């Protein structure tokens, strides 16, 4: 997100909309890769593991990861060579949000199209011959 639009609640609302979809579909949760866009500032003297631990502990603020943690994501691991993003120095952080409302019983119906319709569906072809373009 370009800096002028950060921290105005827009990204948070988009995350909440995604959580709503996950809840509506009764999915277990959502996994994503997060960029640590302030890591470049300290990368010459702080190992990436320490940096991410500090962000998780609230000792450091990362303009991207800290906000995602604030919205309920949890760090599950580090992903090397995740991105060519300069600021994150290639690192991605595996983040997961678990749907607190997920229930085993309410799995959505997987087969959305009734089988008979799926089998019968055929490409529609014109019943008339196409005329060649007139010269
Ligand atoms: C992370 C992201 C959602 C932030 O968007 P944003 O519009 O700047 O953030 P918001 O203003 O909505 O704030 C989100 C949360 O962080 C908090 N926050 C925002 N700025 C803050 C600051 N300077 N200090 C502390 N907390 C802050 C907000 O209070 C909010 O939490 P709340 O809902 O509990 O109040 C957005 O940059 C994004 O989607 N990044 C993903 C990029 C990425 O990693 N892509 C790869 C994965 S596919």
For 77-95, write each residue's pLDDT tens digit: 999 999 987 899 999 999 9
From the alpha carbon of 68, which atom of ligand 1 is closest? 1
pLDDT of 86: 85
Pick from 41, 28, 31: nearest CA to 92: 31
The residue whose CB lies within 8 Å of the most ligand 1 atoms, and thus the one to mutate among 67, 73, 83, 95, is 67
pTM (2 d.p.): 0.81
Backbone angles phi, psi at 32, to 5 degrees: -150, 165
Backbone angles phi, psi at 91, to 5 degrees: -80, 140
Between CA 67 and CA 15 the distance in angstroms is 10
User: What three-state secondary structure class fits 35?
Assistant: strand
Give 54 Cα–ligand 1 centroid separation in angstroms.
17
pLDDT, averaged across the chain: 87
List ligand 1's pocket residues with C-beta within 6 A.
1, 6-12, 15, 32-35, 64, 67-68, 70-71
pLDDT of 122 above 60 = no
């Amino acid at each position: 997100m370009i800096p002028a639009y950060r921290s105005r609640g827009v990204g948070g609302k988009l995350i909440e909309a995604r959580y709503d979809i996950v809840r509506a579909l009764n999915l277990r949760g959502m996994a994503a890769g997060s960029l640590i866009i302030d890591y470049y500032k300290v990368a010459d003297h702080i190992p990436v593991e320490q940096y991410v631990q500090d962000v998780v502990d609230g000792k450091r603020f990362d303009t991207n990861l800290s906000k995602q943690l604030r919205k309920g994501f949890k760090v599950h691991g580090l992903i090397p060579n995740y991105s060519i993003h300069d600021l994150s120095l290639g690192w991605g952080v595996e983040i997961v949000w678990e749907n607190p409302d997920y229930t085993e019983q309410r799995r959505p119906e997987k087969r959305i199209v009734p089988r008979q319709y799926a089998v019968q569906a055929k490409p529609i072809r014109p019943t008339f011959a196409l005329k060649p373009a007139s010269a």
